[in-house]
Amino acid sequence: MASYFIDGVEGWSALGYDANADTNGYTSRCNSYSVHLSRFGFPDGCLRRPDDTCGAMFFQAAAVFLGDQSAVYGGTLEYTLKLEQVPLYVRLADVVMRSANGTTLVYKSGFVPTESQDWKRVVVPLEASAWHRDRVSEAPPTEAEMRAVLTSLRAIHIRGEYFDGGDEAYLDNVLLRSVR
C-alpha cells in the first residue's frame, strides 16, 4: 500500500487535534480539513498542510490504508516529511491509529524536527512495544490488542504540525510495508 501524490491527494484529508491532545485525549477537534497538493515533492507532488489552523493538524490516510491491515503487523509505516518551522508541539504523538471499535494507539518517534529541515524519512515499527495506548505516557498495547486494531483500522493520522501558527508541512511517499 502506498501513496506518492504524483497527480492528486489520492483520497487523503486532514483533521485537527487539540494542541493538548496528549493530556486531553486524541479526540479530533476539526474534521473537515482538505489537503492541498503541491508540485513540490520528494519527488513529483506531495500533500501540503492547510493554511488555516485548528489545533495540531494531522494528515488522514486514504481508505485504501484502512480496514483489514492485519498482514502488516511486524512491518512498518513509512513516510517522508518536510517541515518549515521550529517545533513546539513536541509532546504530541506523531502517528495515531484508531480501530473501528474506538481503540486508540499512538506512536512517538525519536525524530525531533528542526527549522527548515530537508525531507526526512520516518519509519514507524508496527510492533506493539513501539506504541502506546491512548497517549504517549501510557503503556504499550499487547500484541493481541495491536493486531486487533490492525484488523479493523478506521484511521491512521500522521502529524503535520509541530509549531503553533505560521508553519508549513509537506508529506510524501507513505507506505504500509509488510514484514519481509
Contacting range for Ca ion; rule: CB under 5 A; set: 74-82, 125-133, 157-165, 168-176: 168-176
Verify binding: residue 4, Ca ion, rule CB under 5 A: yes
| Contacting Ca ion within 98-117 (CB under 5 A) | none
As a dihedral over the C-alpha atoms of residue 140, residue 143, residue 148, residue 150, rounded to 10 degrees, the angle is: 80
Contacting range for Ca ion; rule: CB under 5 A; set: 33-41, 82-90, 93-101, 112-120: 33-41
Verify binding: residue 73, Ca ion, rule CB under 5 A: no
**Mask: binding to Ca ion, 34-63, rule CB under 5 A, as x and -?**
-------x--xxx-----------------
DSSP-H helix ranges across the chain: 21-24, 143-151
Q: Which of 5, 26, 58, 79 binds Ca ion (CB under 5 A)?
A: 5
CB 136 within 8 A of CB 26: no
Verify binding: residue 172, Ca ion, rule CB under 5 A: yes
Cell numbers at 104, concatenated: 486508540
- Looking at the chain, how many residues does it have? 180
Q: Which is nearer to Ca ion, 45 or 160 (CB)?
A: 45
Instruction: Return the closest-CA partner of residue 82 out of 108, 46, 52, 106.
Output: 46
Residue nearest to Ca ion (CB): 41
Q: Please work out the total of residues on this chain that contact Ca ion, with binding judged by CB under 5 A.
A: 7
Cell numbers at 16, concatenated: 485537527
Smallest separation, CB 179 to Ca ion (Å): 25
CA end-to-end distance (rounded Å), the chain: 14
Q: Which is nearer to Ca ion, 161 or 172 (CB)?
A: 172
Q: Give the strand pairing for 120-125 and 95-99.
A: unpaired
Smallest separation, CB 32 to Ca ion (Å): 24
Instruction: Return the closest-CA partner of residue 161 out of 29, 39, 65.
Output: 29
Residues found near Ca ion in the complex (CB under 5 A): 4-5, 41, 44-46, 172
